[in-house]
Amino acid sequence: MFGYRVPAPDQAMLISGGRRGQGGAPFRVVTGHGKFVLPVFRKVRFLTLAMCEAEVEEKCVSRQGITLTVRSVIAFKVGNDTESIVNAGQRFLSDQEQMAVLTGRIFAGHLRSIIGSMTVEEIITERQKLATEVLDTSKAEMAKIGLIVDSLQIQSIDDGDTGYIDAMSAPHKAAIQRQAQIAQAQASQASAEAEQEAARNQAEYARQTAVVQAQYTAEVDRAQAEAAQAGPLAEAHAQREVLAARTELAQRAADLRQQQLVAEIVKPAEAEAERIRVVAMAEAERMKIQAEAAASHGRVALDRMLIDQLPQIVKEAAAGLSGANVNVLNGADGLSEIAAGLVGQGLTILDAVRRNMGTPGPQDEPKPKRQGGADDGAVEVR
């Protein structure tokens, strides 16, 4: 909108040309919001509230008369309250860069004053104390011009060519060097002890390693020897088990073959032999019975045939006597004896035939003894 002005967050808007500001200030202060400003009748200026920096390099003389060059940095800004803004605006609004110049001069003066009351040793060793005293002494003066200091840093303190600071630091340097040498010696001793300990440890480690290696080698050799012995033993044991298994298998196969042979050959052969034996016995018995029957029938038939032929045999024998010169010594009895002799010869012939045929005759049976002498029925045939 035309005539409406708004300051930046790090700015203060100063409006002049109207009624006076707070406390009789020649302008009004606006921060954080906008304001309608009549053109031509009002004039607007802006004052920075941002952080500013001032560098100070000042030659100062210590209480011992030693000239020191002190370098420092001051961080400052315009205060946020209306009074500080008014004070700073009345002094630096037209040339705001002068704030850093003026601040540096103010601090330089206070720095020379405070360093003049201190020794170089205090300045060197109590640098923070120096910064605090400078801030405290410059605070009231800075507030009058509307500025506040956030920090003061002493960057360096140099004595030039006097060598005071170096001389002052020489004992410390010597002590530090001695401490450094002692520390170095201790470190060297510790290093040597560490090296010796490391050497001992290494030797012990080497010894233990050698022992372990020897034990390991011995164990390996023993294991290899056992393995070398166990190999043939295990192989022999395995072969023995294989042979035993093969023997058992062969025995089982033989038993099975034997059972198979018994079942296929022996049993059928025994059964066939038994059948043949039974058949042979039956046939023999049959033939025996037939032979006995034939023999019995033959004897009967032969006996009958011989009996039938006996008269013819006797007749033929008697015919042989018809031409013979026979003397009968005892009459009728002698003739009877001749007839009986002929019959006896026929019976003898019959017995001979029976013997040849395997049939027993009457002569095979015991004969009763005859009674009488040679004279009884004696016949002489010539």
Q: What is the pLDDT of residue 48?
A: 92
260 is a domain residue: no
Distance between CA atoms of residues 178 and 184, nearest Å: 9
Residue 38, domain extent: 1-50
Q: Is the pLDDT of residue 347 over 90?
A: no
Q: Using 50, 70 and 90 to split pLDDT, how confident is the model at 74?
A: very high
Does 46 lie in the same domain as 59?
A: no
Burial code of 284-315, b = ≥16 C-beta within 10 A, e = fewer? eeeeeeeeeeeeeeeeeebeeebeeeeeebbe
Percent of the chain with pLDDT over 90: 8
Specify whether 12 is located in the same domain as 42.
yes
Exposed / middle / buried, residue 135 (Cβ in 10 Å: 0-12, 13-18, 19+):
middle
Per DSSP, what are the bridge partners of residue 56?
72
- Which of the listed residues 134, 162, 190 is the one where a domain comes to its end? 162
20, 94: one domain: no
C-alpha–C-alpha distance, residues 153 and 149, integer Å: 11
CB-CB neighbours of 237 under 10 Å = 11
Q: What is the pLDDT of residue 226?
A: 75
Beta bridge partners of 44: 15
- 51 or 310, greater pLDDT: 51
pLDDT in tens, 289-303: 777 766 666 565 656
**Residue 24 and residue 79 share a domain:** no
In a domain, 345, yes or no: yes
Domain count, the chain: 3
Residue 339's pLDDT is what? 59
Q: Is the domain of 34 the same as that of 81?
A: no
131 pLDDT higher than 80: yes
More confident residue, 55 or 321: 55
User: 3-class DSSP state for residue 243?
Assistant: helix
Residues 13 and 66 occupy one common structural domain = no
String of b and e for 361-381 (b: at least 16 CB within 10 Å)? Answer: beeeeeeeeeeeeeeebebee
Highest mean pLDDT among 281-290, 333-342, 347-356: 281-290
Are both 25 and 92 inside the same structural domain?
A: no
Q: Confidence band (pLDDT; 50, 70, 90) for 379?
A: very low
Does the structure show a pLDDT above 80 at 249?
Answer: no
Residues 1 and 90 in one domain: no
User: Could you tell me if 94 and 153 lie in one domain?
Assistant: yes
- Per-residue confidence (pLDDT) for residue 246, from 0 to 100: 77
Give the domain CATH number at 80. 3.30.479.30
As a whole number, mean pLDDT of residues 46-63 equals: 91
Identify the pLDDT of residue 358.
56
pLDDT, tens digit, 9 for 90 and up, residues 92-102: 888 899 999 99
Dist. CA 134–CA 149, nearest whole Å: 11
67 and 157 co-located in one domain: yes
Pair (44, 87) in one structural domain:
no
Of residues 155 and 306, more confidence is placed in: 155
What is the pLDDT confidence band of residue 376, given thresholds at 50, 70 and 90? very low
CA dihedral in degrees (99, 101, 106, 110; nearest 10)? 130
Whether 58 is in a domain gets the answer yes
Same domain, 43 and 58: no
List Cα–Cα distances, 374 to 329, 330, 334, 345, 378, in angstroms: 12, 12, 12, 19, 6
- Within-domain flag for 232: no
pLDDT for the residue 302:
59
Is 307 inside a domain boundary? yes
Mean pLDDT rounded to a whole number for the chain: 77
pLDDT at 99: 92
Residue 273 forms part of a structural domain:
no
- Give residue-wise pLDDT tens across range 192-223: 888 888 888 888 888 888 887 788 788 778 87
**Residue-by-residue DSSP string for 357-380:** HT---GGGSPPPPPPS-TTTT-EE
State the Cα–Cα distance between residues 337 and 326, nearest whole angstrom: 12
**pTM summary value:** 0.43
pLDDT greater than 70 at residue 2: no
What 3-state DSSP class applies to 155? strand
pLDDT at 382: 40
- Cα–Cα distances in Å, from 76 out to 31, 100, 149? 19, 8, 4
- For residue 44, the Cα-to-chain-centroid distance in whole angstroms is 89
* Residue 282 belongs to some domain of the structure: no
What pLDDT is attached to residue 16?
Answer: 81
Last residue of a domain, one of 35, 50, 65: 50
| pLDDT at res. 55 | 92
Q: Is the residue at 174 inside a domain?
A: no
Q: What pLDDT is recorded for position 356?
A: 61
Task: Please report where in the chains the tokens 């500001």 appear, as a residue.
Answer: 21
